[in-house]
Structure 1
Amino acid sequence: MSFNWEFFFDHLLTPHPDFIAGLWTTVLVSVISMALALIVGVCVALLLRSDAPLLRGIGAGYVWVIRGTPLLVQLVIVYNGLAAANIYRFSDTSIAGISISGVIQAAIVTLTIYESAYIAEIVRSGIESVDRGQFEASEALAMTPGLAMRTVILAQALRTMVPPLGNIFNGLMKETSILSIIGVTEMFLVTQGISATSFRTFEIFIVAALYYLLLTTVWAIIQFFIERRLSHYMGITPRPFRFTEAMRRRPVNATA
């Protein structure tokens, strides 16, 4: 069977409404999950730096379990396992007039948990990169630990944390394709449906790949300008924008 260029360009330039809906689902689930994962990740990072051995153990155990098990396994446990064990069943709900299906809730919860473990290590590494003198200076100014962390430590650690956090979000948008296993109608699942009805698997999945590439490319550019703005805010001369440099962002080792 030859490559159908007409089918390819038709779905690339004028995608089906269900495909566009799946694209928006991918973006929204990614954004919400990342926002929640940031909150949870910061909390876990603070546990990892706690003076209490029990709290450090809880934080370390959380990171060990979540990072040591596949996202797909966690997704099935959260959505199917909890229901099968009669612990919790995700059902459709409505918030502020917006209907949220049970599978979307399970997807957001799972992605939040999964990504927060990696974010916790990034935040911990970022905090530890700040010179110890900054902690002592905050104490000398009679700042409370919470105030010092928010206004002094995290503010300085942010510059080293932004690149790997941006890479986490970049990966998260691609990882949403796994959500099709529980029936989330994101871009990958819609693509599978179009493939099944049209029998044009090669063409439609190339279209999907190009849209995933578009999402990650747009985010790479946004991330570059976020880092540039942050450098300017901290008095560091920002580098000029180069498209090829923005596209080859390499993840920073968060556990260094």
Structure 2
Amino acid sequence: MTALATAPAATAGDDDIVAIPLRRPWRWVGAVAVLAFAAAFAMSILTNPNLDFAAIGAFLLDPRILEGVGLTLLITAIAMVVSTLLAIVIAAMRLSTNPVLSSVAWVYVWAFRGTPLLVQIVLWGYLGLLYEQISIGIPFTGIVFWQADTNALISALTAGLLALTLNQAAYSSEIVRAGMLSVDEGQREAAYSLGMSPLYTFRRILLPQAMRVIIPPMGNETISMLKNTSLLSVIAVLELYTQASVISSQNLKQVELLIVASLWYLLMTSVLSIPQYYLERRFGRGSSRNLPPTPSSGSAPHSPPAGPGRNRLP
């Protein structure tokens, strides 16, 4: 043991093999070609006489555009929060051993995923053509406790929220269900052996562990929801795209207003991506040595420091 402890460290000698990286010149050729194409495209945009950059700058902070941005964020927040809560319920129904609950949940997912979102938005917008009035009472008795005009009750904004929320709940429920199935079955059996109820097991045992699988696709769904709000223009909800369309119809600056809307969408999606990074790191702790990167830590994944028993690389 003493000889091993006092033995000098091995030093590089003439017989050591020196690894020489393989040269890949075509990588640099490809990189130069891509940069040249990107520079040519950017130059064609910047020097295009058909683009009015002054109009883009003037309408970027226009009060109507800012109102559209605020409404877009509000619709996204409400639709995602409500649809996520509904998705958890639907996923629990899909995983239930009750055939009625699982069948109803399956039909819901099948119906809302099988029809285009644009069609659903228009149907909710024209709900007054199908039901002139909405009432609550006892069926087949004529007893009505509450009644209201459908068009007065369900405005364009309400119809858009219903369409986006119910459609998103169908997709999110499958994400939640996949997360539930990713948890080892022994976790459920252990919880039941301790006397926990199925609901308590779902809420406190399965769901927290499934969040590691749920968070990444749910972040993508949030960004998709933000962009899907532009579809509400068909029922005249004054979100960002609708406001840009209204302004462009007045001054005939269609391309410039589309660029303004695109810049705002890019900014909002970039901001929404930041919480996703931190949520992935939070729920990924204990499951992986390489946690997802954050905007402040750069693109390289963060690895925990090497401790006893873990090899350190030079």
TM-score by length of 1: 0.86
2: CA distance, partners of 1:111 / 1:239 = 29
2: CA distance, partners of 1:79 / 1:6 = 37
2: CA distance, partners of 1:52 / 1:193 = 50
Structure 1 match to 2:224: 171
1: CA distance, partners of 2:206 / 2:164 = 27
Structure 1 match to 2:53: 5
Compute the displacement of 1:231 (Å): 2.6
Matched-pair contact (CA < 8 Å) for 2:280–2:292? no
Residue number among 213, 221, 244 corresponding to 1:191 in the alignment: 244
Compute the displacement of 1:52 (Å): 1.7
Q: RMSD in angstroms over aligned alpha carbons?
A: 2.0
AA of the residue aligned to 1:224: Y
1: CA distance, partners of 2:180 / 2:283 = 17
Equivalent pairs counted in the alignment come to 235
Secondary structure of the structure 1 residue equivalent to 2:238: coil
Residue number among 156, 159, 163 corresponding to 1:106 in the alignment: 159
Give deviations 1:53-85, integer Å, cap 9, x for gaps: 222111111100100001111111112134443
Secondary structure of the structure 2 residue equivalent to 1:91: helix
Structure 2 match to 1:222: 275
AA of the residue aligned to 1:8: I
Question: Within 5 Å, which residues of 2 pair with 1:1-256?
Answer: 2-12=50-60, 15-88=61-134, 89-91=150-152, 102-232=155-285, 234=286, 236-237=288-289, 238-241=291-294
**Higher normalized helix content (fraction of residues):** 1
Compute the displacement of 1:183 (Å): 1.0
Q: Point out which structure has higher relative CO (alpha carbons under 8 A, 6+ apart).
A: 1
Matched-pair contact (CA < 8 Å) for 1:78–1:106? yes
Compute the displacement of 1:3 (Å): 1.3
AA of the residue aligned to 2:152: S
Secondary structure of the structure 1 residue equivalent to 2:152: coil
Compute the displacement of 1:230 (Å): 2.5
Matched-pair contact (CA < 8 Å) for 1:48–1:55? yes
Taking every aligned residue pair, what percent have the same amino acid on both sides?
A: 34
Larger Rg: 2
Matched-pair contact (CA < 8 Å) for 1:25–1:187? yes
Secondary structure of the structure 1 residue equivalent to 2:126: helix
2: CA distance, partners of 1:87 / 1:49 = 36
1: CA distance, partners of 2:70 / 2:111 = 31
Matched-pair contact (CA < 8 Å) for 1:30–1:173? yes
Secondary structure of the structure 2 residue equivalent to 1:142: coil
Compute the displacement of 1:27 (Å): 0.3
Matched-pair contact (CA < 8 Å) for 1:123–1:161? yes
